[in-house]
Amino acid sequence: MEAHKFTIVGWGLAGATLAWQLYFKKEPFKVFDSNNNTCTNAAAGIINPIVFKRLTMSWRAQELLPVAKQFFEKVEDFLEDKILDEKGINKIFTSIEEQNNWSSKKNLPLFKNYLGPVENIENTAVINEFGVGKVKTIGNLNTKKFLSVSKIFFLQQQVEFIDSPFDYSSNSVDNEKIIFCEGAEIHQNPFFNYLPLKPTHGEVIIIKAPQIDFKDILNKNMFIMPLGDNLYKVGATYNWEKKEPTTTEKGKQDLQDKLNEILITPYEVVAHLAGIRPTVSDRRPLLGVHPQHPELFVFNGLGTKGVMLAPFFTQQLVDFILQGTPLDNEVNIIRYEKYLN
């Protein structure tokens, strides 16, 4: 049997995306996962190139979006299955100023491919006094399905999956390279726990609302994402204090309070999920090689927009490892070398 050249530690969005990039390059790998991927499973998978608060483009969205689209469509071809859902995003305006700002920006060269027309949602259940602006995007990723169907695919390709935590004391063999994709659990990693992750706890609820039927995502300080069968994922909360990926009554109540400001319709909460986002204080991903261990690599810090970031930066990391192509300074972990003892 061929020796494994790569070991991926962690089967969340980061690890699974990296696995595909290695597969596309015909590089053999095996995977360790402690089966605790609550972050990727809780995620809505929304790919939003716009920062609504300031109505600006999200960091490098123009570069990231086409790469993400091409990547996920290529994965769909291999899987012969859909993982991207074609949903638009409707930003509900909170004032006439917000609507005017959208209208004045949408034809500017920077925004014209991303900001769509101002419309009204003709549905009495949705409070949208000032209308909505439609974001043009590539859809959203069914994150849970991406992990499960990718794993089935790779198992069929004889990839070894070890469903247990990685043993940090094990020695690397035969020039094997280990890439840690551990999300917020990086704090347990003795090699990379110096990296300054500032995890952000987040919760979502899933509601059943039998009297409404939307196709697109609604956003007004929160998202309401249709899942089909009158089910909607509603989120998310942001909490920088809570360290465990467990749900809270307060999180659920906060989400329902905000939801009630958008929707007037009976609904029932049928599920409640939580996860810890691997966020970094400078809001940039963390990738690169360990300064003292050339066989150890990290891919982390996907934060709140992991789906848009992961394809572009896993490709960059793989090119760095295989061809020595330099990493962008903004994402290279070398920026945090001063924290290494």
Ligand X SMILES: Cc1cc2nc3c(=O)[nH]c(=O)nc-3n(C[C@H](O)[C@H](O)[C@H](O)COP(=O)(O)OP(=O)(O)OC[C@H]3O[C@@H](n4cnc5c(N)ncnc54)[C@H](O)[C@@H]3O)c2cc1C
Least distance in Å: CB of 217 to ligand X? 9
- Residue pair 146/16 in contact by the 8 Å Cβ criterion: yes
Residue 58 interacting with ligand X (CB under 6 A): no
Judging by DSSP bridges, how do beta strands 132-135 and 89-92 pair with one another?
A: antiparallel
Residue 285 interacting with ligand X (CB under 6 A): no
Q: Which of 75, 84, 177, 185 binds ligand X (CB under 6 A)?
A: 185
Least distance in Å: CB of 303 to ligand X? 6
The residues in 61-120 that bind ligand X, with binding defined as CB under 6 A, are none
Beta-carbon contacts of residue 305 (< 8 Å; ≥ 6 apart): 48, 58
Number of residues that bind ligand X (CB under 6 A): 43
Closer to ligand X by CB, 182 or 327: give it. Answer: 182
Q: Which of 8, 39, 263, 327 binds ligand X (CB under 6 A)?
A: 39
Beta-carbon contacts of residue 297 (< 8 Å; ≥ 6 apart): 177, 178, 179, 180, 287, 288, 289, 290, 317, 321
Q: Which of 84, 182, 205, 321 binds ligand X (CB under 6 A)?
A: 182
Residue 29 interacting with ligand X (CB under 6 A): no
Residue 45 interacting with ligand X (CB under 6 A): yes
Q: Which of 8, 14, 126, 296 binds ligand X (CB under 6 A)?
A: 14
Local structure of 299: helix, strand or coil: strand
Cα three-residue angle 274-279-280, rounded to 5 degrees = 160
Distances (CA, A) of 335 to 56, 77, 180, 302: 26, 37, 18, 16
Residue 251 interacting with ligand X (CB under 6 A): no
The residues in 298-317 that bind ligand X, with binding defined as CB under 6 A, are 300, 302-308
> Which residue has the closest beta carbon to ligand X?
12
- Residue pair 262/126 in contact by the 8 Å Cβ criterion: yes
- Hey, what's the torsion of the CAs at 268, 145, 308, 227, to 10 degrees? -30
Least distance in Å: CB of 131 to ligand X? 23
Which range of residues in 30-38, 93-101, 106-114, 122-130 is near ligand X by CB under 6 A? 30-38
Residue 36 interacting with ligand X (CB under 6 A): yes
* Chain positions contacting ligand X, by CB under 6 A: 9-15, 32-37, 39-40, 42-46, 165-166, 181-185, 202-204, 235-236, 275, 277-278, 300, 302-308
